[in-house]
Amino acid sequence: MLDGNEDYIQITTIERHILEEQSSHPEATGVLTSLLYDIALAGKVIASKTTRAGLAEILGRTEETNVQGEVVQKLDRFADLTLYRLNYHTGRLAVMASEEHADILPIPPEYRTGKYVLLFDPLDGSSNIDFNIPVGTIFAVYRRISEDGPGTLEDCLQPGRNLVVAGYLIYGSSTMFVYTTGHGVHGFTLDPSVGEFLLSHPHIRTSEEPAYFSANLGNRTCWSEGVNKFTDYLLGLDSQREALNLRYIGSLMADFHRNLLSGGIFYYPADRKDPTKPRGKLRLLYEASPLAFIIEQAGGYGSDGEQNILDIHPESLHQRTPLFIGNRELVEKAEDFLKRYD
């Protein structure tokens, strides 16, 4: 018998955890387990590049711009290719969609299609790669709606309420894999010495006591009156509350992950000036919806300023949405300010 020191704390790999999660899904056939395992594997492959980006000739830009009109970073392309190459041939997916591609990514006709749909932002926070700031991968898994055969755009345009799995990887001081299947949010930390994601943050609940707020105050002149009044409230300028600490790193994954654990709110509102960002900058399908599912499972809330992100029915693949996400009380406060002043 161990002498009662910390060695007895069980070691749970992500595979073991996903298998146990699947036992609570009666219809599970192990396909979802394998899909999640492959996404975790993609994370390990991407992490192997992000942790050596300065050495691996993977810094900097490609000559391309993507459907978002943004310059594609080399690591964007690498992460996008890695996720596609690990999943197109497995027979688990009906279709994929990526931030980096204008249209859906069909499964090549020589391969079987499966019952799941995978949407992803292969690398979030790209503009920060060259400055050694944490970046991430965000993914969303749905069940296909179409009966069989090649997956369709409609299979991808589902509201967050239909999500089967949502999760992200964050490539920071450590590499973490955080996911939910609707039974709580669980975080795993990669142990590079053994190449395994080990359970490090079971049953994550966001703190009721917010510690930070995260927004790009450089955009204040582009925000509505309601958003600016809410921002003054967070800064304690209207004496309704103590000022919250501001932390904004410009990487949604890093800002979201910190607020998930510490309590707080992240918001990227609609832009009243920049005609390219009338609904803000962030994308509904592979940024806002999966994170809204995660935060709700952790006791928080994700809103577009008027409604729950999970209730929005997408009309297009790269549809953008204003996003207020984190501590429920603060997000609802933001909704109040927008209702009162906008």
Question: Which spans of this chain sit near Mn ion (rule: CB under 5 A)?
Answer: 99, 121, 123-124
Contact assessment for residue 178 and residue 154, using Cβ atoms and an 8 Å cutoff: no
Q: How far apart are CA 55 and CA 49, in angstroms?
A: 9
Q: How far apart are CA 105 and CA 98, in angstroms?
A: 8
Q: Read off the tokens for 163.
A: 């999500």
Among 216, 262, 308, 319, binds ligand AHG (CB under 6 A): 216
Q: Which does 299 bind (CB under 5 to 8 A by kind): ligand AHG, Mn ion, none?
A: none
Q: Which stretch binds ligand AHG (CB under 6 A): 7-15, 56-64, 120-128, 297-305?
A: 120-128
Residues with Cβ within 8 Å of residue 223, at least 6 apart in sequence: 231, 269, 270, 271, 272
DSSP letters for 268-297: E---SS-TT-TT-S-BIIIIIHHHHHHHHH
Q: Taking CB within 5 to 8 Å according to partner kind, which of Mn ion, ligand AHG, none is near residue 214?
A: none
Least distance (Å) between residue 193 CB and Mn ion: 29
In a 13 Å sphere around the CA of 215, the CA atoms on its Cβ side amount to 30
Nearer to ligand AHG, 107 or 140 (CB): 140
Query: Among 87, 113, 126, 206, which residue interacts with ligand AHG (rule: CB under 6 A)?
Result: 126
Does 281 help bind ligand AHG (rule: CB under 6 A)?
Answer: yes
Q: What are phi and psi of 110, to 5 degrees?
A: -80, -5
Rounded-to-integer distance, Cα 28 and Cα 18, Å: 11
Q: Is 319 an interacting residue with respect to ligand AHG (CB under 6 A)?
A: no
Q: Does 258 bind ligand AHG (CB under 6 A)?
A: no
How far from the centroid of its chain's Cα atoms is residue 77's Cα?
18
Q: Which does 42 bind (CB under 5 to 8 A by kind): Mn ion, ligand AHG, none?
A: none
Given a contact cutoff of 8 angstroms between Cβ atoms, the answer to whether 285 and 140 are in contact is yes
User: Contact between 121 and ligand AHG (CB under 6 A)?
Assistant: yes
Phi, psi of 322 (to 5 degrees): -60, 150
Binding segment for ligand AHG (CB under 6 A), chosen from 119-127, 144-152, 184-192, 220-228, is: 119-127
The pair of structure tokens assigned to 290 is 């999966």
String marking each residue 58-77 x if it binds ligand AHG according to CB under 6 A? ------------x-------
172 binds ligand AHG (CB under 6 A): no
Binding stretches for ligand AHG (CB under 6 A): 70, 99, 121, 124-126, 216, 250-252, 268, 281
